[in-house]
Structure 1
Amino acid sequence: MTAAQDAQAREDGARLEAAIEILTRLVSFDTESSKSNLALVNFVESLFDDYGVDYVKIPNAVGDKAALFATIGPKVDGGVLLSGHTDVVPVEGQSWTSNPFELRRERGRLYGRGATDMKGFDAICLAMIPEFQRAALRRPIHILLSYDEETTCRGALDAIRRLGEDLPRPDVVLVGEPTLMQVADAHKAIVTYRTTVHGREAHSSKPYLGANAVEAACDLVCELYRFNEALGRRGDPAGRFDPPCSTIEVGVIHGGTARNILAKQCAFDWEFRSLPDVPQRLALDHLEEYIARVALPRLRRNAEDASIETWAEVEVPGLAAEPGSAAETLALKLAQSNRTISVPYATEAGQFQAEGLPTVVCGPGSIDQAHQPDEFLEESQVAAAISFMRRLAKELG
């Protein structure tokens, strides 16, 4: 090994350890989406202060959560935005073999809630700041850490709206969700809904005196699954997604008070994951047409005041492939790859693209580990992401 190679190996090892040290701290903060992330934000602010990095704190309306936007390099528009989220999914009900909020390092793996999704990426971005600073960047590297990605995907929106206003507008956005460092240029959209049926109570011995909300809700659920089968037959013309179609799933249903009472109310929660070129309202429009034509007239036979309502809870746009975009071109170069992939899960990437920003998804770890008990990130993936970031610094330096 030459002296230069030996020095590089030492630098590689030091940067890996720095990333793991920061990840240890990030994992230690319980930032389940139902809880505040401010303790983690305060820690990251202290890192920015130590590094001498300019940043902006973007709190939510309530003030119990915040996003952070930092810039390394010249304070101008352009450059690359590295985007990650700070919240994680719950651990309740999962069988962990160690404390999920204490990073466990074992046999080349880093175990802890959020290690893969996606505090590992966040930690790597933060650990790379000294190298970014030494690179004498001609174009800036921005870091955005958001919140509530796991529930509403709205935690990045305030920052996105300010890009090009009082925050620099990047040329390219790289969202670091886990892709095993492959470049994903497309993902599905998701909308989650709650449908509530309002009927009329009556004794079950005389059903003609009421309107059973449970019966109507079950009919609507069946209709959604009939439409889901039709979506499966349509398939995915691009042939890139798994499963190769838009999908509908009903996850929760509840209603009624007793088995011998016609239910006054019944509600169910459902989702529609659509291919990027499929309208996000497609499933809702189909259900509302069926309600108007079939379900509601049937429900109102014995209860004129019966009603059915549906409202969207979460709407996350898909990411559409843009072959040859600035984001795809740069990410493939940095990943030393010549092909892109698509992913079936939703991310914040579609929100950036909706604002006209070329965006791709590329980050360490496997989505198969996300949300799982004993979630882990391979150290080799951390090393690969560090190499990716070094090539980014060289590209912009």
Structure 2
Amino acid sequence: MQFRAFDDDLRRFTEEFLRFETTDRNEKPAQEWLESRFEELGFETFRWEADADRLAEHPSFPDASELVTAERPSVAGVLEFGDPDAGPTLVLNGHADVVPADEGVWTSEPFEPTWDEEGEELTARGVVDMKTAVGVCAFAALTAHETFGDGVDGRVVVECVAGEEEGGIGAAAAALDNPYPFERDAAIVAEPTDLSPVVATEGCLMKRLELTGRSAHAARRWEGVDVLDKFETIRHRFLDLESERGERVTHPLYADFDNPWPLTIGVVEAGSWASTVAASLTAECRFGVAPGESVDDAEAEYERALQEVVDDDPWLSEHPPTFDRFTIQFEPAETDVDEPVVEAVQAAMRAHGRTETDPLGETYGADNRHYVAAGIPTVVFGPGRIEQAHFPDETLVWEDALVAGEVLVDAVEAFLSGDA
């Protein structure tokens, strides 16, 4: 059986899944629907919820007070091949949650899937990141099962987790405490990679900087201490360190990135009144962390840079800033290019005419890191381009979904049969 025989089914599946507004920790209705669809399609289903106290022990979640895990199920469907206990288990992973959509900058309703006139491109929030890929994984597993299910041994798990955008809540729980009564040998996370195999993903560190100045009337602003001036000095020092790290911290899979470990200061709030010198400032920062580098080591570099500024400034020395982790952290992750799951994906790509099969590194983080940390080799491979993720009018070229499905079918066969 060919994967494309499921084209119409995949389109309907994807459209229905996209209509669920799975923002703001509201995955449950979609996950209940998905669980029932797995059952209808012949999968054995599993469900789990993360335990907030358990995740509080995990380095990805430094602020346990912000974790919301209740009523946020992750679900999976399992298909058995031949003698399942005699072969390996491969996980195909995706996530249900999506980032919010600002309807004011979309040309269509974000949660109403919209096709172009030719039926070749689909637009909706989550179509790339990454509900379509969940359907692709499900129908790829079904295609593989119907085509060679008796000819190989093992299992395929199609997994859809909650809370990926919040640090990987469902995947972290599954990595810490296996929700299945069998072991997992490898995984493919079907995030949008433009149909390329990604074996290294960057980590990131989130820190909140708080500065204190001295207020004064605008007519006598020289009597105050403008916190914005202090912040600018710190920001420029951080940018200098970013450039320095880009040259000093190297990795062969990131040589083509002009800025491999980027710093972003995404939120800045300062002052209280237009005619008052700003005396307080809060900035929320994201710092890139290279594969092979620890989050702690990267954090220490930026903390030393901040301390250099403080030591050179009498006001900051007397009124030291705070610089604390908040929300979530992403640890970097890397899988050896010689792992069978990587070779299985590469072989499947070549079988479908994909000539650029060299493993890549990416500057974003994904749930692969949780499985890699649990000793499960993982490759990231899926349809769509990361440039479309989190963007207005998020759009997927449908042919990419079909090619991804074909590749996954052959990758399943290669991995379960040991031919990779």
Q: TM-score, normalised on structure 2?
A: 0.82
Match among 109, 127, 146 for residue 121 of structure 2: 109
Write the distance in 1 (CA, Å) between the matches of 2:181 and 2:226: 54
Superposition pairs of residues 60-209 of structure 1, within 5 angstroms? 60=50, 61=52, 62-73=69-80, 76=85, 78-92=88-102, 95-106=105-116, 107=118, 108-134=120-146, 135-136=149-150, 138-163=153-178, 166-203=180-217
Residue number in structure 2 paired with 1:20: 11
- Per-residue deviation, 1:126: 2.4
1:371 to 374, 378, 390: 390
Compared CA separation, residues 103 and 322, structure 1 to 2 (3 A): same
Which one of 279, 284, 305 corresponds to residue 269 of structure 1?
A: 284
Counting only pairs closer than 5 Å after superposition, residues 32-43 of structure 1 correspond to structure 2 as 32=23, 34-43=24-33
For residues 259-290 of structure 1, what are the alpha-carbon distances to aligned partners after superposition, in whole Å with 9 as ceiling and x for unaligned? Answer: 55444421101111122133323443233224
| Structure 2 residue runs without a partner (length 5+) | 53-68
Name the structure 2 match of 1:390: 409
Q: Unaligned stretches of 5+ in structure 1? A: 1-7
Partner of 1:56: 46
Q: How many residues align?
A: 385
Q: Mark the CA change 1:296 to 1:153 in structure 2 (over 3 Å): closer, same or farther.
A: farther
Letter in 2 for 1:122: V
* Matching residue within 367, 371, 374 for 1:355: 374
Alignment partners' CA distance in 1, 2:228 and 2:391: 33
Deviation at 1:25, TM superposition (A): 0.8
Identity rate, percent? 20
Choose from 345, 356, 364 the match for 2:364.
Answer: 345
Alpha-carbon separation, structure 2, partners of 1:299 and 1:67: 52
Distance in 2, Cα, partners of 1:24 & 1:104? 9
Which residue is 2:246 aligned to?
Answer: 232
Query: What is the CA distance between 1:331 and its match in structure 2?
Result: 1.6
Cα offset, 1:128, TM superposition: 3.8
Taking the aligned partners of 2:392 and 2:180, their CA distance within structure 1 comes to 41
The aligned counterpart of 2:58 is none
Equivalent-residue separation in structure 1 for 2:260 and 2:141 (angstroms): 41
Q: Which amino acid aligns with 1:216?
A: K
Change in Cα spacing, 1:287 to 1:319, as seen in structure 2 (3 Å) is closer
**Amino acid of the residue matched to residue 271 of structure 1?**
R
Does the 8 Å contact 1:349/1:359 carry over to 2?
Answer: yes
Moved more, 69-78 or 373-382: 69-78
CA distance in 1, matches of 2:200, 2:171: 19
Secondary structure of the residue aligned to 2:108 is coil
Q: 1:384 to 1:216 in 2, by over 3 A?
A: same
Q: Which amino acid is 1:24 matched to? A: E
Name the CA distance, whole Å, in 1 between partners of 2:10 and 2:278. 55
User: Which residue type is aligned with residue 12 of structure 2?
Assistant: E
For residue 174 of structure 1, report the CA deviation from its aligned partner. 0.5
Cα distance, 1:392–1:327 mapped onto 2, change above 3 Å: closer
Give me the whole-angstrom Cα distance separating, in 1, the residues matched to 2:312 and 2:243: 25
CA distance in 2, matches of 1:322, 1:389: 19
What is the CA distance between 1:243 and its match in structure 2? 3.1
| Residue pair 1:296, 1:307 contacting (<8 A) in 2 also | no
Range that drifts further, 168-177 or 73-82: 73-82
Corresponding residue for residue 270 of structure 2: 255
Contact 2:345-2:408 within 8 A present in 1 as well: no
SS at match of 1:276: coil
Give, as a single letter, the amino acid of the residue that structure 2 aligns with 1:90.
P
Displacement after TM superposition at 1:202 (Å): 4.8
What amino acid maps onto 1:153 in structure 2? G
Map of 1:332 onto structure 2: 346
In structure 2, the CA distance between the partners of 1:324 and 1:265, relative to structure 1 (3 Å rule), is same
When structure 1 is superposed on structure 2, of 371-380 and 92-101 the one drifting more is: 92-101
- Residues 35, 212 of structure 1: alpha-carbon distance in 2 compared, 3 angstrom cutoff: same
Distance, in Å, in 2 between the alignment partners of 1:243 and 1:94 is 33
- Displacement, 1:205? 7.0
1:240 to 1:292, Cα distance in 2 relative to 1, 3 A: closer
Q: Deviations over 1:220-268 (max 9, x none)?
A: 2221112122123336351544235322121221111135544442110
Q: 1:117 deviation in Å? A: 1.2
1-structure distance, mates of 2:299, 2:42: 49
Length-normalised TM-score, structure 1: 0.86
Structure 1 range deviating more: 41-50 or 332-341: 332-341
Q: Are 1:48 and 1:54, in contact at CA under 8 Å, matched by a contact in 2?
A: yes
Would the alpha carbon gap of residues 244 and 354 (structure 1) be closer, same or farther in structure 2, given more than 3 Å must change? same
Quote the residue 1:45 is aligned against.
Answer: 35
Aligned AA (2:7): L
**Amino acid aligned to 1:173:** A
